[in-house]
Structure 1
Amino acid sequence: MADEEEKRTITVKYGIIGVGMMGREHLINLSHLRHHGVSVVSIADPHPPSLTSAIDLAHSFNWPLQVFSGHKEMLDSEVCDVVIVSSPNMTHHRILMDIIAHPKPHHVLVEKPLCTTVAHCKEVVEAARKRPDIMVQVGLEYRYMPPVAKLIKIVKGGEVGPIRMVAIREHRFPFLVKVNDWNRFNANTGGTLVEKCCHFFDLMRLFAGASPIRVMASGAMDVNHKDEVYDGKVPDIIDNAYVIVEFDNGSRGMLDLCMFAEGSKNEQEISVVGDEGKGEAFVPEGIVRFGTRVSGRDGVQTIQTVDERINFLEHLNFLHAIKNKGTETPEVDLMDGLISVAIGVAAQVSIEQGRFVSMDEVL
């Protein structure tokens, strides 16, 4: 008990690189962990309006910050122990390589996607292997949504039997406006199926408990952003797709993505079917349904899931791993980040070339 109390009271100093919308969300979420010894001490961002907004937010939590325009200056200050990387996707690779190469070890939570290309993801993975003093977790936080977490528990508990099919539907609003409109182009995001859907490919792999072997996809840019122009260029990000992923244990996953479907009751609907039963999760309703073939339709259970820690559970688990380094590892590691990006890349290639793409081709 004394050891646990000591771990709780140790101050862990955080820095946030990139304090746009996501960075400020991390700032808010970390404020809930103050009694766990968390303190945000620095931020870095080249965009002055983002810095101003983050400073005002930090002041509301009585957190004095050291403010930097660049991530290298923040690293060299050596004021923080943990770094959150929530900058635009195309900056992740360079920032992560700089963090890993820095003489002072900094543990890292990097927003998804890990990087925008498989090659860059691999470089980060290889560099991190040479730094056993650093822990890196990838922000595939959909695992922590209460209904999804409950469904994962049901599936991993064997209640539906060996998994055969995973179907994920995301019907939602278009991409939000970001700083300098960076998220309107594949070159910056990695493509919609990397940028947005790495979450779902991660969940498919988790539910299937297997490795992906090939991908087939069909998608297009049919509705959103077609009348937008930035520096003379029209956005090229797709806004809808179907993706099929085949796994090496014979199971299959399917993604149904539509980003002009604001008239939906749920943004995400997840169905996992095994030999013996079926589980479903609905977000944001927070509902899980579970039934077996034996009990039939009348035996389907409906469970309302609630977890007040939802906004900071990802951070809480990573903090636990940091404080127990040597016996704990990040729940979502660099290989999870790499494979989720690789599936998205394979899907983008499949759309461009109209064929199945093997994972060996992209890995």
Structure 2
Amino acid sequence: MSKARLRFFENSVNQRHITEADRYLYSQEKPRYNLVVIGTGTMGQEHMRVAVLLGRARVLGIFDTQPESMDAAIDAHAALCNDTPRRYADLESACNDPDADVLMICTPNFTHLAILKVAMASGKPIFLEKPMATTMADAVALRDAVESHSAFVQIGLQYRYKAQYREAFHEARSRCSLGRIHTISMSEYRPPFLDKVGQWNKYNSNTGGTLVEKCCHYFDLINLMAESRAIRVYASGGRAVNFLDFEKHGAHSDIDDHAFVCIDYANGIRASFTLNMFCPDFSEEMIVVGEKGRLLTNERFDFHAQAPTQASIQVELGENGASRRTGLSYPALIEQSGHHGATYFEHIALMDQLDGKAVECATVEQGLWSMIVASAAQHSIATGQAVSIDDFLQGQQPPVRL
């Protein structure tokens, strides 16, 4: 049984006299697995940082088509540990290093399918960042290809590991505090997309659209809470503020910066999602209402003040039981490692899978359904019409088989 780390004491200046021979509470598990990171931009470097913090795997090597990205990743890694990752000359070398135990694909969205095919030829377990693809055709091709893969493929939908959503699922599913659920609403208010190498995230052709690139996280959460399949989607959205005058190599940005989405589920649950990407700070909210009460989660990150993230869950049961509001947090080191601690717990699931344990993590099928809802919403914005999921899937070329 693994024991909890006492990181505050273990890293304290006045505890540096404790030698390795006397480390028990401060002892660290030696990494059992070797990790290869493919794509060393923002997310790739976050995964490298979290791997060091968790300590169950070491970063064996990295590959990126941009030497500057690998340079930055090596420098950041050196500040955290003494290991120097291998730098592979090409994708095939990275995927087929015999010392590698798991491959992490953190490249731009539009490259996922092609890279995954090379990675699967190695027979190794794979972690694939969200969204799994940019088009329904690629997403289905990816799903079908994975069916013959001998090892697991985990999708990087890490928001399900945020503290407030883990608590929300516990209240709604395990405790059944709300009774039968009828409505779910989520919202995200945040600043614009950040800069990327080549500014690939400013174009629908590279991302699948904002609702695919950014919001697949939220559709994954709504799908999980609804415990059903979406049957109808209507969305309204567009471009109001961000990147209206942006162009690169003569191509003008066409990415949306706000949207409203309504979703009907087969079990009768109705859901909504609101996105606004021209706000000064970050905030997210989920509201779930059932026959017995209402659940509300909230997360706010004031990055201008550099204040710690404030997350909470509120359960309102009226005469059905005790109502309460609870502040939530992970240890500061974990929250600071990336995505308010969600990536850390996503890595735990990845390591547990490598250990052969049964885990709750984002499967390829769940990744596909987050894509289906997001892509149908993008189609609804483009056409101005409500979209039947069955008709939408049958209208794909080739038609989507579920």
Return the TM-score normalized by structure 1: 0.92
Equivalent in the alignment of 2:375? 345
Equivalent in the alignment of 1:96? 116
Equivalent in the alignment of 1:5? none
Aligned-pair CA distance for 1:253: 1.0
Q: 1:134 aligns with which of 122, 138, 151?
A: 151
Equivalent in the alignment of 2:98? 78
**Is the 2:292–2:320 contact (alpha carbons within 8 Å) kept by the matching residues of 1?**
no
Equivalent in the alignment of 1:32? 53
**Is the 1:137–1:330 contact (alpha carbons within 8 Å) kept by the matching residues of 2?**
no
* Residues 1-363 of structure 1 aligned to structure 2 (within 5 Å): 11-34=32-55, 36=56, 38-60=57-79, 61-100=81-120, 102=121, 104-131=122-149, 133-157=150-174, 158-262=176-280, 264=281, 267-284=283-300, 285-294=310-319, 300-308=323-331, 309=334, 310=341, 311-324=343-356, 328=358, 331-360=361-390, 361-362=392-393, 363=400
Mapped to 2, the partners of 1:217 and 1:143 lie a distance apart of: 23
In our comparison, the structure showing a higher alpha carbon Rg is 2
Read off the aligned partner of 2:329 and give its amino acid letter. Answer: V
**Is the 2:352–2:359 contact (alpha carbons within 8 Å) kept by the matching residues of 1?**
no
Read off the aligned partner of 2:159 and give its amino acid letter. Answer: Y
Mapped to 1, the partners of 2:360 and 2:123 lie a distance apart of: 16
- Cα 1:357–1:69 shift into 2, 3 Å: farther
Superposition RMSD in Å: 1.7
SS in 2 for 1:77: coil
Aligned-pair CA distance for 1:70: 3.0
Aligned-pair CA distance for 1:295: 5.1
Mapped to 1, the partners of 2:138 and 2:277 lie a distance apart of: 27
Mapped to 2, the partners of 1:250 and 1:336 lie a distance apart of: 20
**Is the 1:136–1:334 contact (alpha carbons within 8 Å) kept by the matching residues of 2?**
yes
**Is the 1:47–1:69 contact (alpha carbons within 8 Å) kept by the matching residues of 2?**
no
Deviations 1:174-214 (A, max 9, x none): 00000010000000001000000100100111111111111
SS in 1 for 2:96: helix
Mapped to 2, the partners of 1:121 and 1:97 lie a distance apart of: 13
Return the TM-score normalized by structure 2: 0.83
Read off the aligned partner of 2:264 and give its amino acid letter. Answer: E
Aligned-pair CA distance for 1:59: 2.1
Following TM superposition, where does structure 1 have runs of at least 4 consecutive aligned residues deviating by more than 3 angstroms? none
Deviations 1:225-267 (A, max 9, x none): 00111111110010000001110000011011000011x5x51
Q: Which one is further off, 169-178 or 147-156?
A: 147-156
Read off the aligned partner of 2:196 and give its amino acid letter. Answer: K
